Structure formats: structure tokens, C-alpha cells
């Protein structure tokens, strides 16, 4: 009886609104929900968000049906308190996604370059990747774009040297003082070297066999719009990480064309990057072994040196 009265009351209130007002409000709510869905799509937050929404709907229905009769008023009180706790829980659970969303809202236009600058950056990095791939020297090259990486660079060694293929080859030569971790390229300059990158979760990787160097590339690309070039120390394979997605292994000429194409275009969203990138090897393509067979990066001491491997 009570439920039918609530439904009847709701319908009566809706009848007092103009049709275009109801359509506009529903449209705005749908756009907001769709934007949230697109943002978390393909991330670990998607499953948690679905579960949380289902729980909220279930608790709200039970609270309104039973608590509104006057016999279970404490249920309504608990529901109100639960909503406050859920709001705090949302901030804690989705903190990485919220930070990422705020960072992307602050994105500025593509770093000041001309087609000539892009061609110069592509040529230098592609030539270095070719040499490192043939020599099977591991490398991790971060090309900064819209989102600055000042906080990440603080722990590295600032070089502020002009970008060149030979300098990149020297940096990543085994045994050199700066060959560990990553190099950050800003425009036509190698800004810093020996920069530690955040690691992605193993579940984020397209192949379990990929090592920590690839995990570091994917981990950083999830946090910003940078392009990260990875050269495998085991196989010499060249890959590109963008928006949390690792490309398939590429030959040098294929890498050169793809790298230039991505640099010349504005950074794409995570959903578009996932749709465009091939996350698994082509049929008949050999699986790439991890850079450290049997590596386990679960202990704090391992995480500190993870990107060095």
C-alpha cells in the first residue's frame, strides 16, 4: 500500500513539470553517467563502481520501502549515514581515477612543435631505437606531451641536453652511470635520465611474460598522456605505450611511421587507444619472454629497483 502511494505521488509530481524540462534533466543526467562510464571503462575501477552502484540501489530501495512505513525508522537513519560513508569511500577507492581525471582537465595544447620539430624528434629516437634493438640494450624513453612530468623528474638526473641519437645510445649502453630507469624527452631536449616510473599492475599487461620495463611504461602512460618507447633487453622488440595500452612489437620502419603519426596527432583518450592498439601478438608471432624470468615484484625492496631490470 505504501509503495503504491509513493509511486502515485511521484507520478503526480512529474505531471506538474513541463515535458521539455523532464527531457532536459534526463538528458543531462544521461550525459553525466555516460561520461563517467567512458572514463572508467576498461579500468579496474569499472567493476568496483558497478558493485557499489548495485549496493547503493539495493540499500536505498530497502530503506525507502521499509523505513517509510514508520515501523523501521532506524533503517532510514542508517541509510543516511551509509550515504555519507559511501561518499568518503568513493574518494578513497577511486583516488587514482579522480586524480587522472583532474590532470586531464588541466591538459594544455600539444607542446610547442612544428612538423620540422616532430620529424627531428622522430628521427633521433627511431635511430637510437634501431641501434638499441639490434644490440639488445634495454631502453625506456618518455616523450612528454601535454601533461608536465615535473614531479616525476625530481628523482632523476637533470641533463638539459640537446636530443640526439648518439646521446641516447650512450645513456642506455650497459654499464653507463645513467642507463638504469628512464629518459625523459621534452621537445628537442633530453631533460633528464635515470627517472623511476610507476609500475602498472600485472593484470594491466597484455602478456604475463612482459617484464618490469614494460610495466613501467604502461604504468606511466596510465597517469599522463606521454608517449613511452620501450626496447626489450631480451628480444630487442620495440613497443609504444600510450594511455595505458602497450602496442604490438614493431620493426624499426613500422615504429618510425607509427611514432610520427602519434606525435603529430593530439593525444587520444584511453578508450580510443585501447581500440586502436593491438594488445596481443599477431598470429604466429612469438611470445616475448620477460626481461627477468620468474621475476616477482611484490616486495617493497623489489619495487624500489623495479624499473632497473
CATH code, domain carrying 278? 3.40.1700.10
Residue 51's domain comprises 2-105
Domain boundary among 47, 72, 105: 105
Shared domain check, 34 and 163 = no
286 with 236, same domain: the answer is: yes
Whole-model pTM: value is: 0.58
Q: Percent of the chain scored above 70 by pLDDT? A: 69
Q: Please provide the average confidence, as pLDDT, over all residues in the chain.
A: 76
Spatial CA neighbour of 227 closest among 267, 194, 278: 267
Residue 15 lies in a domain: yes
Determine how many CB atoms are found less than 10 A away from the CB of residue 28: 10
Residues 52 and 180 in one domain: no
What is the number of structural domains in the chain? 2
On the question of pLDDT at 299 being above 80, the answer is no
Task: Tell me, yes or no, whether 147 and 97 share the same domain.
Answer: no
Together in a domain, 126 and 101: no
Stretch 268-288: mean pLDDT = 44
Return the pLDDT at 74: 67
pLDDT at 66: 61
Amino acid at each position: 500500500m505504501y509503495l503504491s502511494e509513493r509511486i502515485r505521488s511521484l507520478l503526480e509530481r512529474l505531471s506538474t513539470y513541463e515535458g521539455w524540462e523532464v527531457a532536459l534533466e534526463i538528458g543531462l543526467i544521461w550525459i553525466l553517467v555516460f561520461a563517467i562510464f567512458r572514463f572508467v571503462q576498461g579500468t579496474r575501477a569499472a567493476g568496483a563502481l558497478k558493485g557499489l552502484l548495485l549496493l547503493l540501489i539495493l540499500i536505498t530501495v530497502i530503506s525507502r520501502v521499509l523505513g517509510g512505513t514508520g515501523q523501521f525508522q532506524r533503517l532510514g537513519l542508517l541509510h543516511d549515514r551509509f550515504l555519507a560513508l559511501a561518499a568518503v569511500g568513493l574518494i578513497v577507492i577511486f583516488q587514482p581515477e579522480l586524480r587522472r581525471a583532474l590532470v586531464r582537465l588541466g591538459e594544455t595544447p600539444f607542446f610547442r612543435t612544428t612538423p620540422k620539430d616532430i620529424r627531428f624528434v622522430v628521427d633521433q629516437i627511431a635511430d637510437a631505437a634501431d641501434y638499441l634493438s639490434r644490440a639488445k640494450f634495454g631502453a625506456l624513453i618518455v616523450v612528454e606531451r601535454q601533461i608536465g612530468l615535473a614531479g616525476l623528474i625530481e628523482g632523476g638526473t637533470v641533463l638539459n641536453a640537446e636530443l640526439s641519437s648518439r646521446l641516447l645510445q650512450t645513456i642506455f649502453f650497459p654499464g653507463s652511470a645513467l642507463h638504469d630507469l628512464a629518459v625523459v624527452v621534452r621537445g628537442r631536449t633530453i631533460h633528464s635520465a635515470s627517472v623511476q616510473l610507476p609500475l602498472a599492475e600485472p593484470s594491466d599487461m597484455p602478456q604475463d611474460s612482459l617484464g618490469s620495463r614494460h610495466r613501467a611504461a604502461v604504468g606511466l602512460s596510465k597517469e599522463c598522456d606521454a608517449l613511452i618507447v620501450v626496447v626489450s633487453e631480451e628480444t630487442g622488440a620495440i613497443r609504444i605505450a600510450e594511455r595505458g595500452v602497450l602496442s604490438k612489437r614493431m620493426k624499426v620502419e613500422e615504429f618510425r611511421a607509427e611514432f610520427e603519426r602519434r606525435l603529430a596527432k593530439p593525444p587520444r583518450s584511453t578508450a580510443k587507444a585501447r581500440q586502436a592498439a593491438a594488445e596481443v601478438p599477431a598470429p604466429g608471432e612469438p611470445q616475448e619472454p620477460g626481461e627477468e624470468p620468474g621475476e616477482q615484484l611484490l616486495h617493497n625492496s623489489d619495487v624500489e629497483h623495479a624499473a632497473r631490470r
